[in-house]
Amino acid sequence: MKNIILIGFMGSGKTTAGKLLAEKLSMHFIDTDDLIEQIAQKKISDIFKENGEAHFRDMESKIIDTLSGYDKFVIATGGGIVLRPENVTKLKAIGQLVLLSAKPDVIYDRVKGNKDRPLLHADPMAKIKDILGKRNPIYRAAADIEVDTSKLSVAQVVDMIMSLDIMP
Ligand code: S3P
């Protein structure tokens, strides 16, 4: 196994848990959203506003193509990365996909006040329930394993992932 790839909805803790996991396992950490922001030289919310979601999704797919040589990375992904089946296929080829899940009210608490999630700008609770309902089957089909983070601290999420039978 080469890499650990964290998938899941916004606010499921992919970035926070991913950084700690990488530190504990002496692996590298990257976040596909950060890579996109670096390349675009603008924030995700501005990419959505100025170029549209489809452009963002194209950038997301291109980023995945650059990851094929990566080894011993914890990779945190954007919540919508699983929407294109070819993205999932490419990610599965380079590592194990760990789904971090959380209940809608927990997600709401974690993301409220954060302005850089364009998909949740208006009526966030309704959006969370709606998008999560549509995506949950896709996340679960893509994942090798699921960790429900709803009642766990970041440290507990990391311990849980480290106890799984997927470690490099
Ligand atoms: C998105 C999730 C975001 C970011 C973009 C779209 C989504 O990443 O990629 O706002 O479609 O769920 P996080 O899951 O890291 O917030």
| pLDDT tens for each residue of 135-150 | 999 999 999 999 999 9
Strand positions, DSSP E, the chain: 3-7, 28-31, 73-76, 95-101, 145-148
C-alpha angle with apex 166: 160 to 168, nearest 5 degrees?
110
Mean pLDDT of 10-35: 97
117 touches ligand 1 (CB under 6 Å): yes
Q: Global pTM?
A: 0.96
> Measured from the CA of 131, which atom of ligand 1 is nearest?
12
- Average pLDDT (120-147) is 95
The position carrying tokens 């974690």 is 110
- Picking from 21, 48, 22, the residue whose alpha carbon sits closest to that of residue 37 is 48
CB 154 within 8 A of CB 20: yes
Closest listed residue to residue 110, CA positions, set 154, 140, 144: 154
Sole residue written with tokens 């993301």: 111
Cβ atoms of 99 and 140 within 8 Å: the answer is: yes
Which residue is it, tokens 């009642």? 151
Q: Which atom of ligand 1 is nearest to the CA of 32?
A: 9
Report the C-alpha gap between 50 and 53 in whole angstroms.
9
Q: How far is the CA of 27 from the centre of ligand 1 (A)?
A: 23
Mean pLDDT of 70-76: 96
Of ligand 1's atoms, which has the minimum distance to the CA of residue 80? 11
Mean pLDDT value across residues 24-53: 96
CA of 3 to the centre of ligand 1 (A): 20
pLDDT of residue 152: 97
From ligand 1's centre to the CA of 34, what distance in Å?
A: 11
DSSP 53: H
pLDDT of residue 1 exceeding 60: no
